[in-house]
């Protein structure tokens, strides 16, 4: 692990946050966590060998993002990496999917909120990261890793949300698919735009991650995956480490799907 590199992680207090931190910790000594939800103290204890700093920042608010970058501009440790994981994703519980919505009934408020949190927030973070990392001129390669989804490239299979004996229909809301497709557009745009400035930009796209969901949902989902199961969150660690290190040199503008083959079926 380099002792002279810092990374930023947005959405670091979420379910996958500790796994993203674990991946980043392989190549960075300092990790700045940006979220509106306080970071679990156990996470800091689990990563006591690195410097984890939490900032209460809403990444969709331009002023808050700019203020954060202004607060770290004089830090001596070179900033080399940005991992954009902040997003809105309807959760699955025993009653089904939260905020399920047929296309004919989608709410403009939810639509705009999802796109602002996922796309506007990621674009703002990229903008300010590029500005600060460019002026540091420390010789390090700069890396941006955006978190997409298998729904960045395929349509939702809403049959997986069906519950036996229930006539209620569940639908992944349209705004999630659009925001995740947009993440790929952001990645490709920046990969070309920054190619001659010592930056690399990629997307990591997981499929559905196991989180003790309803057994019926797990079975339905697993039936759509050639490997026959959901993704275990720990399996993302090595991918994050690889994509935010020199090991992935010459890889840019790519979407790395970690989906057990779901997107090719």
Residue pLDDT tens, the chain, 265 long: 445 899 999 999 999 999 999 999 999 999 999 999 999 888 888 999 999 999 999 999 999 999 999 999 999 899 999 999 998 776 666 556 567 788 999 999 999 999 999 999 999 999 999 999 999 877 899 999 999 999 999 999 999 998 888 878 889 999 999 999 999 999 999 999 999 999 999 999 999 999 999 999 999 999 999 999 999 999 999 999 999 999 999 999 999 999 999 999 9
How many of the other CB atoms lie within 10 Å of CB of 178? Answer: 15
Query: What pLDDT is recorded for position 168?
Result: 83
Q: How many helices (H) and strands (E) does the chain have?
A: 8, 9
Which of 34, 231, 252, 16 is CA-nearest to residue 143?
252
CA-angle at 135, arms to 133 and 137, nearest 5°: 80
Query: What pLDDT is recorded for position 1?
Result: 46
Domain map (residue ranges) of the chain: 6-93+114-156+175-214+232-264
Measured between alpha carbons, how far is 59 from 146 in angstroms, rounded to an integer?
14
Measured between alpha carbons, how far is 4 from 141 in angstroms, rounded to an integer?
13
Q: How would CATH label the architecture of 6-93+114-156+175-214+232-264?
A: 3-Layer(aba) Sandwich (3.40)
Q: Which residue has the tokens 């010459």?
A: 250
Q: DSSP readout, 122-184?
A: HHHHHHHHHHHHHHH--SPPEEEEEE--GGGTS---GGGG--TT--------HHHHHHHHHHH
Measured between alpha carbons, how far is 99 from 122 in angstroms, rounded to an integer?
22
Measured between alpha carbons, how far is 7 from 182 in angstroms, rounded to an integer?
23
Q: Which residue has the tokens 């026959």?
A: 228
Measured between alpha carbons, how far is 83 from 6 in angstroms, rounded to an integer?
11
């Amino acid at each position: 692990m380099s002792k002279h590199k810092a990374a930023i992680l947005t959405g670091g207090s979420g379910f996958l946050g500790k796994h993203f931190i674990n991946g980043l910790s392989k190549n960075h000594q300092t990790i700045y966590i940006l979220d509106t939800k306080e970071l679990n103290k156990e996470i800091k204890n689990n990563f006591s060998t690195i410097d984890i700093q939490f900032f209460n920042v809403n990444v969709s608010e331009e002023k808050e993002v700019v203020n954060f970058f202004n607060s770290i501009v004089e830090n001596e440790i070179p900033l080399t990496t940005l991992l954009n994981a902040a997003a809105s994703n309807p959760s699955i519980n025993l009653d089904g999917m939260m905020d399920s919505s047929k296309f004919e009934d989608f709410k403009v408020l939810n639509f705009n909120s999802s796109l602002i949190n996922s796309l506007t927030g990621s674009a703002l973070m990229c903008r300010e990261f590029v500005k600060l990392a460019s002026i540091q001129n420390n010789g390090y390669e700069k890396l941006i890793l955006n978190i997409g989804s298998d729904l960045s490239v395929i349509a939702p299979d809403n049959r997986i949300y069906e519950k036996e004996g229930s006539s209620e229909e569940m639908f992944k809301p349209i705004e999630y698919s659009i925001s995740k497709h947009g993440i790929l557009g952001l990645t490709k745009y920046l990969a070309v735009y920054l190619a001659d400035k010592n930056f690399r930009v990629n997307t990591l796209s997981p499929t559905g991650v196991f989180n003790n969901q309803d057994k019926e949902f797990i079975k339905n989902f697993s039936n759509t995956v050639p490997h026959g199961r959901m993704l275990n969150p720990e399996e993302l660690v090595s991918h994050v480490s690889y994509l935010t290190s020199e090991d992935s040199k010459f890889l840019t503008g790519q979407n790395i799907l970690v989906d057990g083959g779901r997107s090719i079926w």
